[in-house]
Structure 1
């Protein structure tokens, strides 16, 4: 294990970000750095080296632990440079190379972080179907909120839309997801949008479900409006395919937060579809 820097604070004051040398990993570092700057948290950069990765040919001759460690340190150094370039003080940055399966490493370390940010490599249609096994596996097992970010979803800096969305798929509203959404809205000085999709398969009865869902969500938001008068809150209930509707909603928000139920793993196809095609970072919380 190689460690760089000395992080001020520990535990839940840190934002964990996984890097793998890809551009998506560096985008994750940028997002996590800005989150750290906004919240006052420290940044904890980790690169996991999977020694069990199959190798063939001449690579067998050079894939020693030392070589892998040096490669990981180069990836870490680049990530630390990105964070420093964005103005985060070095004393608030810690970085290390850890040996182990990336999804296992990140999941295990997540218990010591307030948030985890991961990049998702997804370069073509086939890859999008599988979303990125490392990010999804880590997100399912994480003990803290997770933000998944990629080139496909974030080609530009997020934050300009001043809108945080929480997707509601169950009733009552997922309390952890809604609570995180409110905190993000306060931090970003943004509005909160609660999105619910009524399946279009309900046909002519769908309109009635839309009205009922809107009224129910409004009722649940009423006390929260009183507690957070500075946060504009709006309800957006749509009729359509859940994945398509949420992906469309992601075009106009800075982050889309989804609640994960602890007793339902792994992630279902709908959640994976949203993560794969969203136009903004996707937050996952249990």
Structure 2
């Protein structure tokens, strides 16, 4: 069996939604599901057990174990036949997920967390994982259209081949159409250069995935609003990531954060490697 789908949970509603998506993704891939809750408190040298005057089921460790148990029950209820592993890992969430991603096919995280991350949109977590994770990262957010396309952003640079391949595989597994979108603006380049980009990006992949209905779109608009608007009718958006700290076709700061935080559907961030393309 291939590497499992990894889901990070913290007890929030969005992390439980990530479990739901993780179960579906594992089922589509024919692999297992690994649920991880990062337990940082042992590193803080605080008491983990119940307080002397509190209930026996109190304490930080019991609370953490409960978060993990709830997530595992939810996964098993959705698919009793799915192989589910749950781990209470000691460490800071970002580092734990990045480390575990080395043996995962996909990392799934929710859009908002609890605790000290309560006011933090998952954007920073996703950007961190996009730069350091060893596999694609799926951020669960918005209200995806279950009948919508898989949307992939293309920019003509060639470094987004992994993202295009991921998008084709996702569309094939979902039996959904795929839309390759390229946004251009007069300030960023002439139209005659932009025009072939979407078609060029899918060359080769059509033959590998002949079951996928492929559509290409060229939009005269800045990348950030074009992607956010297009995500309204999509069930999944896929963007490429360029190694440590850069996005193919996206600015790491404003555009990537905007897509991760404001897209109307889940966003998959797929990291670039040296060699990519249809086999």
Q: Which of structure 1's runs of 4+ aligned residues deviate more than 6 A?
A: 52-55
Are residues 1:196 and 2:182 paired?
A: yes
Find the counterpart in structure 1 of residue 218 from structure 2. 237
Question: What CA distance in whole angstroms lies between the structure 1 residues aligned with 2:97 and 2:165?
Answer: 24
Please point out which of 228, 233, 258 is paired with 2:239: 258
Q: TM-score, normalised to structure 2's length? A: 0.82
Please point out which of 149, 153, 168 is paired with 1:163: 149
Question: What CA distance in whole angstroms lies between the structure 2 residues aligned with 1:41 and 1:83?
Answer: 14
Q: TM-score, normalised to structure 1's length? A: 0.80
- Per-residue CA deviation, residues 59-118 of structure 1 (Å, 9 max, x unaligned), is x6x55599332111100111111112212426x000011110000000000001111101
Deviation at 1:185, TM superposition (A): 1.1
Q: Where do 5+ consecutive residues of structure 2 fail to align?
A: 51-57, 272-279
8 A Cα contact 1:159 1:188, kept in partner: no
Change (3 A) 1:101 1:172: same
Deviation at 1:189, TM superposition (A): 1.0
Question: What CA distance in whole angstroms lies between the structure 1 residues aligned with 2:170 and 2:193?
Answer: 27
- Per-residue CA deviation, residues 123-155 of structure 1 (Å, 9 max, x unaligned), is 9xxx57x644334323321101110113xx13x
Find the counterpart in structure 2 of residue 49 from structure 1. 39
Q: Give the CA RMSD over aligned residues.
A: 2.8
Q: Which moved more, 1:132-141 or 1:104-113?
A: 132-141
Are residues 1:89 and 2:70 paired?
A: no
Are residues 1:100 and 2:91 paired?
A: yes
Deviation at 1:221, TM superposition (A): 2.7
8 A Cα contact 1:165 1:193, kept in partner: yes
Question: What CA distance in whole angstroms lies between the structure 1 residues aligned with 2:227 and 2:113?
Answer: 19
Query: Which structure features the higher share of helix residues?
Result: 1
Deviation at 1:225, TM superposition (A): 2.5
How many residues align? The count is 257
Find the counterpart in structure 2 of residue 281 from structure 1. 266
